[in-house]
Amino acid sequence: MRILEELASRRRFGMRPGLEAISAACRACGDPQKKFKAIHVAGTDGKGAVCAMVDAVLRAHGFRTGRYTSPHLLCVNERFFIDGEPAPDGLLDALAAPLAGDPSFDRLTYFELLTLVAYRLYAAEKVDFAVLETGLGGRLDATNICAPAVAAITRIGLDHCEWLGDTVEKIAAEKAGIIKSGVPVVLGANSPEVRRIVEARAREAGAKFVYAPDIASESDIPGDFPLMGAFNRENAVTAIAVLKTLAKSGFAIRENTITESLRGVVWPGRFQQVRNFLIDGAHNPPAARALAQSLGDGKFDLVAGFCADKNVDEVLGILSPRVLKACAVRTNNPRSLGAEELAAKMRAAGMDARAATLADALDTGRPTLVCGSLFLAGEALAVLGAWPWKIRFDPAETLRV
């Protein structure tokens, strides 16, 4: 991905509130974001899984689809799916090339740049639907200039508080910023406080409000559903509600075949069993609690790596009662917490912990949980030979946000 890598090296990472820069960049490119229907998904946890499920069902119904999610686990191609496969280097480079020599695009952040490439990709490929995951928040996220057929909000908890607010209510208000006039919004299972805020925002915007558990249930999920974990069943209920809402809006989706179509979903690194390893990208307290609730009663070894900006101490406190031995590793990310520093935090949480390389940490025959970062989940799948797609993996790649 030579051109995207070169562009990213000139742009700042992180979050910049406001839609002015991405809106101006899209106008300069002919507003590609207006040339396809979007399924727009926000939330604290589960939004990527909901995107993967909705995408799988839409493809099973014969629609041409795009899917834009973040972050990537191994390489940046994973953010840009076309018809169920990561977009190839050559296609992404061709779409990014016109941006490389134009100084008017220099003020874009990395995420804004990739979002612009996604818009160009899905317009050029003439997709019927693009399933778009917000990067951070909703109201001021670069994805929030799309033209959605339906919006969805998954479970909301405390994460990215420095940007979104220090209460669930404040974060819910930011996520509800994706609601648009006349566009139905589906809210996944949430607290009464979150439901009240989202429902009020929908009423103000003149948008139909749908509470997912009111129109979908776990009985709609196939018995051989490929994604493990109670939280993925909750995500499936949200995805089914989104699809039923699309069907009720006049799109050619057969409600009686949604269940069958969910059997084809692939979403690696989320409560994924590989031999004696359980690999999950849980990296914040809500995800850690959901993970702990899905683990059963046994104990396990832990291999963990975190980005330094996460609430590491609370996540470790949630998992500690279940851990026999722990290995701290550094992830392949510039923002990663060092292995020795993480090992010290593990010991402070009551774990028998040591620092290790990932390959050393995975050299065990005992039941082992790998978590703390989606980047770590991807690296573990690669080491274990369980990566599902035939795309480039460059272990030196550091273009991560």
Q: pLDDT confidence of 72, banded at 50, 70, 90?
A: confident
Q: How far is CA 319 from CA 42, 116, 126, 288, in A?
A: 26, 38, 45, 7
Q: What is the per-residue pLDDT for 59?
A: 97
Least confident of 104-113, 159-168, 239-248, 289-298: 159-168
Tell me the per-residue pLDDT of 85-122, one tens digit each, with 9 for 90 and over.
999 989 998 998 888 777 778 788 888 999 999 999 99
Q: Average pLDDT for residues 9-36, to the nearest whole number?
A: 83
Q: How far apart are CA 272 and CA 232, in angstroms?
A: 11
Task: List the end-to-end C-alpha distance of the chain, in Å, as a whole number.
Answer: 16
Residue 85: which H helix or E strand, with range?
strand 85-86
CB 231 within 8 A of CB 154: no
Report helix angle 339-348 to 312-319, nearest 10.
50
Q: Which residue has the higher pLDDT, 101 or 349?
A: 349
At residue 7, the pLDDT reads 62
- Give me the chain's average pLDDT, please: 89
For residues 108 and 22, the answer to whether their CB atoms sit within 8 Å is yes
Handedness of CA 279, 280, 285, 291 (dihedral sign): negative
Q: What is the pLDDT of residues 301-338, one digit of tens each?
A: 999 999 888 899 999 999 999 999 999 999 887 888 99
The pLDDT-based confidence of 131 (bands split at 50, 70, 90) is very high
Distance (Å, whole) CA 96 – CA 87: 13
Indicate the pLDDT class of residue 18, thresholds 50, 70 and 90: confident
- For residues 69 and 139, what is the distance between their CA atoms, to the nearest angstrom? 17
pLDDT interval class at 3 (50, 70, 90): low
- 380 and 331 Cβ atoms separated by less than 8 Å: no
370 vs 82, 217, 265, 375, 376, CA distance in Å?
Answer: 29, 30, 22, 11, 8
Q: For domain 2-264, give its CATH number from 3.30.390.50, 3.20.20.70, 3.40.1160.10, 3.40.1190.10.
A: 3.40.1190.10
CB 34 within 8 A of CB 147: yes
pLDDT digits (tens, 9 = 90+) for 170-186: 889 999 999 999 999 99
CATH code for the structural domain at 272-383? 3.90.190.20
Mean pLDDT of 286-313: 89
Enumerate the domain spans of the chain: 2-264, 272-383
The whole-angstrom separation of Cα 90 and Cα 82 is 14
Q: Are 218 and 231 in contact (CB under 8 A)?
A: no
List Cβ neighbours of 341 (8 Å cut-off, separation of 6 or more).
none
